[in-house]
Amino acid sequence: MLKGILNYAHYLLEGSIHSGEKVIDATCGNGNDTLFLSKLVGEKGHVYAFDIQDQAIANTRKALINNNCSNVSLIHDSHERILDYFPKDKEVAGAIFNLGYLPRSDKSVITTPDSTVSAVNAILNRLKKDGLVVLVVYHGHEGGKEEKEGLLKYLLQLDQKQFNVLRYGFINQKNDPPFILAVQRKVARIENQ
């Protein structure tokens, strides 16, 4: 059976993230992906969860407390500053982005092409071999088309010898359905890249 967008995003990450690894939720929102990643990496792993909105940080903190998760660092900052917080001597095992705006909140606060591309580029430079960056692209809002186009332009230029880039989505849905972009590193990264 075909998996829905969020289920497929999690399915992809399950295949590449292992217990004890360090991962990133670049847009923690309501905490669902943060909780999912927390369970994947287990007690010896760690999740770095980012959001620029106070409400998202509060929502995620509440979800973590309710689920007794202690392996997460909540970071109230833009995902474009990910490497300011991620350990310099560690590889990123995987990352997820839910682009757009926080559901049931201010729809004028959105992810942007520049910060998203900057964050993806930073993560790809630290991504382990066979690691994945999964982007759930919501583009049916003001500013969403620009972010989608900027991200596609960036990902299309990635060297196919180093990365696989996948696009997954349902083409017969109305109202700008979300889709997934997933980037897998095919080769070991070069130190100081």
Question: Is the confidence at residue 191, as pLDDT, over 70?
Answer: no
Burial class for 43, CB neighbours closer than 10 Å (0-12, 13-18, 19+): exposed
Instruction: Count CA atoms within 13 Å of residue 189 on its CB side.
Output: 20
- Give me the chain's average pLDDT, please: 93
Domains of the chain: 5-185 (3.40.50.150)
Question: Is the confidence at residue 109, as pLDDT, over 80?
Answer: no
DSSP 95-141: EEEE-SB-TTS-TT-B--HHHHHHHHHHHHTTEEEEEEEEEEE--SS
Contact assessment for residue 75 and residue 49, using Cβ atoms and an 8 Å cutoff: yes
Integer Cα distance of 178 and 105 in angstroms: 18
Question: Is the confidence at residue 119, as pLDDT, over 80?
Answer: yes
Integer Cα distance of 190 and 49 in angstroms: 25
Contact assessment for residue 139 and residue 148, using Cβ atoms and an 8 Å cutoff: yes
Residue pLDDT, tens place only, 22-48: 999 999 999 999 999 999 999 999 999
Number of neighbouring beta carbons within 10 Å of residue 65: 11
Contact assessment for residue 93 and residue 16, using Cβ atoms and an 8 Å cutoff: yes
The whole-model pTM stands at 0.94
What are the tokens at 37? 């990643």
Residue pLDDT, tens place only, 40-94: 999 999 999 999 999 999 999 999 999 999 999 999 999 999 999 999 999 999 9
